[in-house]
Amino acid sequence: MVGSRMPVEVNGIGFGGQDFVVIAGPCAVESEDQILRTARFVAGLGAQMLRGGAFKPRTSPYSFQGLGAEGLELLAAARRATGLRVVTEVMATGQVETVAAVADMLQIGSRSMHNDELLAAAGETGKPVLLKRGMTATVEEVADAAELLRARGCPGVVICERGIRTFGAATRNTCDIAAVALLQKMTGLPVIVDPSHATGRADLVAPVSKAAVAIGADGLIVEVHPEPPAALSDGRQSLSFPEFRDMVEELQPHLATWRETRARAHALAR
């Protein structure tokens, strides 16, 4: 369906239409207080979905690996408290059923994009999937991974540009902003941007978010933490509450233009 748009609905939240979806929350669920404070704060600023890892893929075996099933329970509690839909990562086929029982949307992380068995299992749950582009994946490869999910019954796939590895070392990854528009045209699927992982720097999250809005991305997924210096993972790239509030305010005039552009495109397509 190249050239046509395929909006994705996540329990009433629409990607790829006339709403710009903001997903916000910590890299990992650390405690009840942390996730509830964050969920209430981001919901108050208009975020529609909550992110937070219950199972965390980490390079070092000595790093925080997540709370597992307890983390899922805390995400469910945050949803009950705020109404935010929940997206969280599934790392292995053995976790798919457990995560799908709680999450409104499953996340396939960058490390897992090439795991065809996991993609198939996630697709068969009937839940929408947030597919993060692999750190060394071409646009063709991430498009193929999205097609595999759809072929296995996934009702909706949202692709996430989260930065790729290049020779540059100034940022954690290189945000391939052109891939947003390219993947939208290639696949017809919604494409969002993860400025937190794309840069690895909290001070660059807002500027890259503006670029995402300008190029016509369908949303953002941003890491937010009550106390980034104390975060058990990815504190350097997480926004504090005041920083997230400032970013949301800065984005408003850009989002107004985004909505006008989407409305015109919708009218022309009718």
Residue 3 forms part of a structural domain: no
Does this model's pTM top 0.85? yes
Bridge partners, residue 88, by sequence: 106
Residue 137 has pLDDT above 90, yes or no: yes
Residue 62's pLDDT is 65
**pLDDT tens, position by position, 14-32:** 999 999 999 999 999 999 9
With a pLDDT cut of 90, the percent of the chain lying above it is: 90
CATH of the domain at 91: 3.20.20.70
Residue 59's pLDDT is 64
Residue 82 forms part of a structural domain: yes
Residue 2's pLDDT is 39
Residue 168 has pLDDT above 90, yes or no: no
Residue 2 forms part of a structural domain: no
Structure tokens at 200: 């690895």
Residue 1 forms part of a structural domain: no
Domain span at residue 218 reads: 8-269
Structure tokens at 230: 């104390």
d(CA 21, CA 18): 9
- Using N-to-C axis directions, what is the helix angle for 241-269 and 202-215, rounded to 10°? 10
Residue 1 has pLDDT above 60, yes or no: no
* Of 56 and 88, more confident: 88
Structural domains counted in the chain: 1
